[in-house]
Structure 1
Amino acid sequence: MLKRIDLTRDYRKHREEYLEAIKKVCEETAFSGGKYADKFDKEFAAFCGVPYAVGVNNGTSALHCAIAALGIGSGDEVIVPANTYIATAWGVTYTGATPVFVDCTPDTWEIDPDKIEERITDKTKAIIGVHLYGQPFEFNKVKKIADKYGLYVVEDCAQAHGALYEARKVGTLGEMGCFSFYPGKNLYAFGEGGSVTCKKEEYYDYMTTMKNQGCHVRYYHDMIGYNYRLEGMQGAVLSVGLKYLPEWTQRRRVIGRRYIREITNPLFTMQSHPENTDPVFHLFVVTVEDPDDLIAYMNGKGMECNKHYPVPCHLQKAYAHLGYKEGDCPNAEHLAGHCVTLPLFPEMTDEEVTMVIDACNRYKGKAR
């Protein structure tokens, strides 16, 4: 079975480097934060092209830290796309603020700038845009609206490490960029990890204190804090992976562009990729009439597929108290009911890519 993503192939290829990095952490017992976490922060900031990167324990914490650093809290609202992983909204909720969900476009499947203004109130403080599946969202249009109303723009870059918007790396466009290093991301930890990129020292100082139990100096707590530190072990592993990220990204782009060019089945619809962007193809999602039927078909051909995401944020039970109903975000709801994610990871062989393409083109739906 060809997995949708197979991390064992990367591990086998770079096993000795990973084990040597882990060995150093163990020998120095630099487990919680420490020199290897700090080293990765500097390396990741340099990779993104910003002065600061604040390593944290996961991408959800990264979003929480960023929203909190902006002074957003109870009584405030933040615009969030309905078509994203739920953690985008958690980052708002954890501060006491309320996520306000906005539909996606029917082509890029990301937040629709034309539907943002109608959701802005005097309580709105920020807009979170998500570079979904590795495709940068239309930042300039969102920023223009944000500037009109005096709002912050925060980037959710959890799926888009190294993606480009008008030749600029994501994570450098808005007030802050929030990254995840969950296993399976384009850059991944051996467990959990995250980072917030920023240009302002005041944000950096706030988040480094917040993530460290509210401490600048140990045992002296300047604010209500959290245990959000990036583990030293994960920092060491991420430093190894970061060396190979450009290579992995190049391969993802080759595979993604082959899918775009060679999957010609009219039963499939794909995400649009505007010319002013260079995506990194974290996921390759298509829509079909019956996603369960396509998944069963692909499984039968020896290829694993799944769904991202089967329930849009505004219809999740956790947010039922906000009063959203079916029909409020029709594009996001359509995607949720029709999406299928195809196999895509850097270690796929050309033959495996061809196998996926051929199977997709031969798919005839339930008429087969």
Structure 2
Amino acid sequence: MIPLVDLQTQYKSIQPAIDAAALRVLASGEYLGGPDVSAFEQGFAEYCNVGHAIAVNSGSSALHLSLLGAKVGPGDEVITSPFGFVATTAAICATGARPVFVDIDPLTFNLDPAGLADAITPKTKAIMPVHLYGLMADMDPIMSIARQANIAVIEDACQAHGALYKGKRAGSIGLSGSFSFNPGKNLSAVGRGGMVVTNDDEQAQFLRRLRDWGQDGRYNHVHQGFGYCMDTMQAAILNVKLRHLEHWTELRRAHARRLTCQLKNSAVTTPPEPHCCRHVYQVYAVRSASRDLLRAAIATRGVDSGVHYPRPVHLQQAYAGLGYMEGDFPEAERAAAEMLSLPISPELTDSQIDYIAAAVWSDAWRPRAATANLGVKSTRDLARPAQEQSEQAA
């Protein structure tokens, strides 16, 4: 079986350094805070080209703190995408605010800026675009609309470590950006972990207090805060992995180029990479109107796969109270029915990639309506220079 994610092979590739870091923390007896957390914050801030990084215990906590840092609260509205993991919507609800959804671009699967202006009301406090699958949302029009309306932009970059939009790192464009280090992410802890990044000095100070029970010094609680601090063990291991992140990212991108080239003219639609972006392929999601048949067929050939995400958030039972109905966001609903994630970890070999492509090309699944999404038009310029296309196919 070719696994969707191969954490064991990744661990073995850097085992001595990981083991040394873990044993050092265990021997130190310092399991919360300390120099390991500070070093990881500094390193990740430099990686993202931002002034501050605030380490927390999960991506969900990072999203929650980012919203609170933007003063989002009861009675407010936050615009986001209905297609993605539920944590984004859950974080908005945790502040007491109401999530307001805008449909996705049918080719990038990110929030479509064309629907933003109509969704803004006097209650709108923030826009939270999700950089889905490792591809950044179209940030220029999002930021322009937000500035005109005087509302904050909070980037959900939980799947986009190292992604670029017009040369700018994910998390560095809005008021803040939130990251997850859960296993399976491009930069993963041995459990849960998260980070908020920002260039705003005041917000960084506020969030550092908020993550540690609102303390400004020991037992001096100036805010109602939370126990969101990152464990020292996670920081120590993430420090080791951060040194490899760019190499792993380039391997992901090389594997994606090889797979995309081999799947050209097949019965699936491969992930786009707009010319202005650097896709980091946290997920390599192909699209097919016969997704379930395809998944079953490649499984019989030993290729693992995943579905990210089979039901859009607005149709989840937990959020029925928001009042959305089936058909409200047709592009998100179509994507939920058609997307299939193929293996794309840095640890893949060329022969494994070739085997994955051959499994997809197999006629065993006989799609009834191959690539039903062909012909849809994106609101985003997806044209790539011919020279660049040739280089990526090489």
Q: What's the TM-score, normalizing by structure 1?
A: 0.98
Counterparts of 2:213 and 2:75, CA distance in 1:
24
Contact 2:182 2:188 in 1 (8 A): yes
The whole-number CA distance in structure 2 between the counterparts of 1:116 and 1:257 is 32
Q: Is the partner of 1:268 in helix, strand or coil?
A: coil
**Paired positions, count:** 368
Contact 2:294 2:367 in 1 (8 A): no
Of the structure 1 ranges 335-344 and 257-266, higher mean CA displacement relative to structure 2 is found in 257-266
Question: Partner of 2:7 in structure 1?
Answer: 7
Contact 1:66 1:196 in 2 (8 A): yes
Counterpart mapping for 1:61-210 below 5 A: 61-210=61-210
- 8 Å contact kept, 2:17–2:240: yes
Note if contact 2:64-2:94 (Cα within 8 Å) is conserved in structure 1. Answer: yes
Task: Measure, in 2, the Cα distance between the counterparts of 1:279 and 1:239.
Answer: 23
Amino acid aligned to 2:357 = I
* Contact 2:297-2:364 at 8 Å conserved across structures: no
Query: Equivalents in 2 of 1:139, 1:243: separation in Å?
Result: 28
Q: CA deviation at 1:267?
A: 2.3
Is the contact between residue 157 and residue 178 of structure 1 (CA under 8 Å) also seen in structure 2?
Answer: yes
| Identity level (%) | 38
Does structure 2 conserve the Cα–Cα contact (< 8 Å) formed by 1:109 and 1:271? Answer: no
Task: Tell me the CA shift for residue 234 of structure 1.
Answer: 0.2
Q: CA deviation at 1:39?
A: 1.3
- CA distance change for structure 1 residues 262 and 73 in 2, over 3 Å: closer, same or farther? same
Distance 1:266 1:20 in 2: 46
Corresponding position of 1:211: 211
Change (3 A) 1:78 1:187: same
Where 1:202 maps in the other structure, the secondary structure is helix
**How far, CA to CA, are the matches of 1:55 and 1:362 in structure 2?**
45
Q: Distance in 2 between matches of 1:92 and 1:317?
A: 17
Alpha-carbon distance, 1:119 to partner: 1.1
Counterpart mapping for 1:350-361 below 5 A: 350-361=350-361
Unpaired stretches in structure 1, ≥5 consecutive residues? none
d(CA) in 2 for partners of 1:284, 1:117:
30
For residue 249 of structure 1, report the CA deviation from its aligned partner.
Answer: 0.4
Once the two structures are superposed, residues 2-54 of structure 1 have per-residue CA deviations (whole angstroms, 9 ceiling, x without a partner) of: 10111000111111110100111111112122221121111111111111000
Give yes or no for contact 2:55–2:229 (8 Å, CA) kept in 1.
yes
Which segments of 5 or more consecutive residues in structure 2 lack a partner in the other structure? 369-394
SS at match of 1:19: helix
Specify the alignment match of 2:373 in structure 1. Answer: none
What's the TM-score, normalizing by structure 2?
Answer: 0.91
Equivalent residues of 1:265, 1:360 under 8 A apart: no
Structure 2 residue 254 is the aligned partner of structure 1 residue 254:
yes
In structure 1, distance between residues paired with 2:50 and 2:57: 20
In 2, the alpha carbon distance for the partners of 1:367 and 1:325 equals 29
Q: Distance in 1 between matches of 2:363 and 2:184?
A: 27
Q: Could you tell me whether the CA contact under 8 Å between 1:55 and 1:230 is conserved in 2? A: yes
Once the two structures are superposed, what CA deviation does each residue of 1:270-324 show, in whole Å capped at 9, x if it has no partner?
Answer: 3322101111011011121222211111111111011000011111111100100
Deviations 1:100-153 (A, max 9, x none): 011101111110000111111110011111111001110001111111111111
